[in-house]
Structure 1
Amino acid sequence: MRRLIFPLFLGLGGAAVLVALCVWQVQRLQWKQAMLAEIAARLEQPAGALPAAPSAEADRHAPVAVAGRFGTGAAHVLTSQRRGGPGYLVVQAFETEAGRRILVDRGYVPEADKAAGFDQGPVTVTGHLAWPRETDMFTPEPNLARNIWFARDVDAMAAALDTEPVLVVAAVPTGDPAPRPVPVGIDVPNNHLTYAITWGTLAVFWLAMTGVLVYRITRTEVARG
């Protein structure tokens, strides 16, 4: 029996850790599903007024409608769309009737239309407040000489276009002609079910290997006895 103590400790202890990880991922899955349901419900709400001081914590995905006209200055964000291929998202300064200057993501244009002119308004932009999570330490700096950005960095774009650090992603066309809207969607990954299955499967295999090891030790001891 003394020869079985360490294998049993290692096998049962390791399985317990793997099962705990599986349970944790199931709990995370339930939390994530509730969060995604809340986001989906918010996206379907009627558009309201632009908050006086929007924040990413309180107002992410909030539907808004804001009247005004597009001002000078735009940032072109390199992208690719299934319908259209390589192109740009046109993020443009927008001057509201209330005298504020914000950013509006008007949508997608093909690469060939980068320099095209678009309707400036007056228009009511209907869309959602967004703080895209698109930048990290590997994101290249924008090529300001060619006006090519590689991510929607709200703070950097606001500084470059002299606006508030507030971005509205248009859900409907913002003029005629205008870029094709790319509305806000649910961009939160939810892989917790896969993780839970992975940890649960590893726990089963860990216990199976432990059983095989214990069986072999037991047979060896019986053969010696």
Structure 2
Amino acid sequence: MATIIVLAAVVTMIGLGVWQLRRAEWKDAVLRELAAAAHQPAVAYPAPPVADALPLFRRSAVTCLSVAGWRATSGRNRAGESGWIHVASCRTGAEGPGAQVVVGWSRDDANPAWAGGRVTGTIAPDSRSLIRLVADDAPAGLMPAAPPDIDSIPNNHRAYAVQWFAFAAIALVVYVVALRSRARRSR
């Protein structure tokens, strides 16, 4: 019975390793697609964004009629310094949810005095609103935030596959050692 359990676990671990290799291939394709998006023509800023067709890394623009609220989150400026990026929840008209706009970066998390206007930049993922526009320029008192970077998207699936294959090999070695030990004790 123990042999069946160990073999089932090993087969499962190998299956998970193969699955991770397939995920790595899928992620490579996604990353190639995102890299190509940066060289495509600008798109209209979507309102509301569609989760399975996000225009990530595309150039866009939006007019922020007024700022409905702010949030500061950790981020970097173009020089790579750590600090706070300032995300404005912008009203764009009566049509819907508005837009999230990273207007700039500072060392301080206090809300900037920016009240809105036309913003041009690059669409990036956002943890709260699916997407946000990272502005090319910053208003007075802020520095431009770092643009979205495809290299910041992890693709660890091959490493996970190696781990699953290693777990399977270790399980087999431990089981074989246990069987040999039991055989020696029974002699």
- The answer, yes or no, to whether TM exceeds 0.5 is yes
Picking from 113, 121, 129, the partner of 1:117 is 113
1:48 paired residue number: 43
Q: Deviation at 1:81?
A: 3.6
Q: Which residue type is aligned with residue 132 of structure 1?
A: D
Work out the number of aligned pairs and report it.
181
Q: Distance in 1 between matches of 2:62 and 2:12?
A: 56
Q: Deviations over 1:181-215 (max 9, x none)?
A: 33233454432222211111111111112222333
Please give the root-mean-square deviation of Cα atoms over the aligned residues, in Å. 3.5
Q: Distance in 2 between matches of 1:102 and 1:68?
A: 9
Is 1:38 equivalent to 2:2 in the alignment? no
CA contact (8 A) 1:42 1:61 kept: yes
The percent of aligned pairs where both chains have the same amino acid is 23
Q: Distance in 2 between matches of 1:86 and 1:124?
A: 21
Picking from 172, 175, 184, the partner of 1:210 is 175
SS at structure 1 position matched to 2:126: coil
Q: Give the structure with the larger strand fraction.
A: 2
1:78 paired residue number: 73
1:169 paired residue number: 133
TM-score normalised per structure 1 = 0.62
Q: Which residue type is aligned with residue 27 of structure 2?
A: K
Is 1:132 equivalent to 2:126 in the alignment? yes
2:10 paired residue number: 15
Distance 1:45 1:213, change over 3 A: same
Q: Which residue type is aligned with residue 182 of structure 1?
A: A
5+ long unaligned stretches in structure 1:
1-5, 134-152, 155-165
Q: Which residue type is aligned with residue 117 of structure 1?
A: A
Picking from 136, 156, 166, the partner of 1:201 is 166
Q: Distance in 1 between matches of 2:91 and 2:138?
A: 11
Q: Deviation at 1:93?
A: 2.2
Distance 1:203 1:103, change over 3 A: closer
Is 1:180 equivalent to 2:144 in the alignment? yes
Q: Deviations over 1:112-156 (max 9, x none)?
A: 7x35534855x451321x4512xxxxxxxxxxxxxxxxxxx33xx
TM-score normalised per structure 2 = 0.72
4+ runs of 1 displaced by more than 6 Å? none
CA contact (8 A) 2:71 2:86 kept: yes
Picking from 102, 107, 124, the partner of 2:104 is 107
5+ long unaligned stretches in structure 2:
none
CA contact (8 A) 1:56 1:131 kept: no
Q: Deviation at 1:50?
A: 3.2
